[in-house]
Structure 1
């Protein structure tokens, strides 16, 4: 019985690290399913929705890197976070194929990749500067 309790605790810990990234992926999927007109009405301050791609995938890479660093023994969580971001971007563009007034776009995928890379570079830069923001993220270790 105690082995089961340990397994449940470990699963809960794993989920607590991955939940933010999974929720963010759900938000991206939801927004990806909206028409261009809907998104323009929701985000009038973004005249070019590529900013949404950039910011969305920057945040995704930060969240995925955070989760990887705490749950997977990998020497390069940043590289994996960028790869996961790009793969999710590919799935996002495929999803848009089925959305009225949306279509897959290689330019959007490139912006997704740049956003993921910038997210990882930002966290790496903050870690090197040893800022409080990174300390707060790392305190759960």
Structure 2
């Protein structure tokens, strides 16, 4: 087998490996969604020590899906700079948010909430908007290369 054949076979693997952070973050979201209402409410006071303005975990949806959009952007690479790809990133995050809410319907003390999906989409959209700012985009491409 020629060396060029080996290199061409490695490139798809390298592209797939770029999605490992997104898959890992999806697992984190899934694990947090698996916690019962009592377990989630028990850790709220810990976060309130650092963020006294927190009344609930709604902010967690913004942050979690901001990070998910960032990791999907990383997986896609430079092509994520295109406007339609940014829309796809937000839609993928929204779809995962819907499946996450469905998953929560099976967890004690938790129930699906369309407001959570809205917050998921807003968090993802904020990442795509921030990543479109020219200096940030340039810095992100250096980091993500």
TM-score using structure 1 length? 0.82
Gaps of 5+ in 1: none
Aligned to 1:22: 23
CA deviation after TM superposition for structure 1 residue 47, in Å: 3.6
CA separation of 1:5/1:40 partners in 2, compared to 1, >3 Å: closer, same or farther?
farther
- Out of 105, 116, 124, the position equivalent to 1:108 is 116
Segments of 4+ moved more than 4 angstroms: none
After superposition, give the CA deviation of every residue in 1:91-110 in whole Å (9 maximum; x if it has no partner): 00110111111111011111
Matched pairs, number: 137
TM-score using structure 2 length? 0.80
Aligned to 1:69: 77
Gaps of 5+ in 2: 48-53
Correspondence list, 1:111-122, <5 A:
111-122=119-130
CA deviation after TM superposition for structure 1 residue 41, in Å: 3.1
Match of 1:76, SS? helix
Preserved CA contact (<8 Å) 2:93 2:121:
yes
Over the aligned positions, Cα root-mean-square deviation in angstroms equals 2.5
CA separation of 1:103/1:130 partners in 2, compared to 1, >3 Å: closer, same or farther?
closer
